Amino acid sequence: MLIDAHHHLWQPERGYRWLDEPGLDRLRRPYLPADLTAETTAAGVGATVLVEGGRCHPDEVAEFLGYAATTPVIARVVAWIDIGAPDVAATLAAYRRLPGGELLAGVRAQVQGEADPDYLDRPQVRHGLAAVAAAGLSFDLIIRSDQLPAAARAAYAVPELIFVLDHLGKPRIDEGDTGLRAWLGPITELAGCPNVTAKLSGLVTEAGPGWTAAALSPFVAAAVDLFGPERLMFGSDWPVCLLRAGYRDVLDALREALPPMTEPQRDEILGGTAARVYRLVS
């Protein structure tokens, strides 16, 4: 099954303040389950993982779990959580009591918005990460490239937790070889943690307006070399991707950017890894 391991939905009027930033006019409208279903059906995607969208409010969690419970293609949810709060375990238990709570597969915090590159080293954050692991959930890392070293330290410190790196840690694809060299050191350290997986998602956004599949290829090839297909997964990052490309364009670009590999290896990236990490299969 082709699985999209990373997409969003939102209704801007409910408090997505980041959508007010310049240049995001294309995104400043509701994107709802019916819109998603039209895109996935056209692209042949059989299941998706709905990821929190930066609203950072528990009301979004209830909304997204409700979407998953009533939208066949949405198989799992990665919900928002304040990972540094003292009550992470209780919050996760409350999430699971919500309608659709059984479809909660992981959580995410907007770590990229923290000025401190070492935010993930904080004791209260490490305590929260341990609570996520104890709950049997994964933790998505939405981080900047300067936060990759702290992410590696956190992964080593909490080996029982599955970490999922979103967007390959946002390398500067638009800077070509310079961006590749700057990213390779810290991503290599993080990939050395066996409990870390990564998403080939958000890459067209990082590549900029003139992106090509060829520009993505060195970064995708490096990720395949470092993580292996069994720790990589496809994510559309729709509708954010619409700033650069359509849903099907992103999928086609990834297929073109992948280095030569066997069909089973390609199937891991396009569905197998996501099915295991987000427990779409037993």
Residues 126-176 have pLDDT tens digits of: 999 999 999 999 999 999 989 999 999 999 999 999 999 999 999 999 999
Q: What is the pLDDT of residues 64-105, one digit of tens each?
A: 999 999 999 999 999 999 999 999 999 999 999 999 999 999
Structural domain containing residue 165: 3-278
Per-residue pLDDT, 282: 52
- Find the CATH number of the domain harbouring 56: 3.20.20.140
Distance between CA 277 and CA 162 in Å, rounded? 8
pLDDT digits (tens, 9 = 90+) for 5-32: 999 999 999 999 999 999 999 999 999 9
Instruction: Give kind and range of the element (H or E) at residue 47.
Output: strand 47-51
From residue 136, alpha-carbon distances to 160, 270, 271 in Å are 9, 24, 21
On the CB side of 181, CA atoms within 13 Å amount to 4
Report the number of distinct structural domains present in the chain: 1
Percentage of the chain lying above the pLDDT 70 cut: 100
pTM for this structure?
A: 0.97
- 200 pLDDT above the threshold of 60: yes
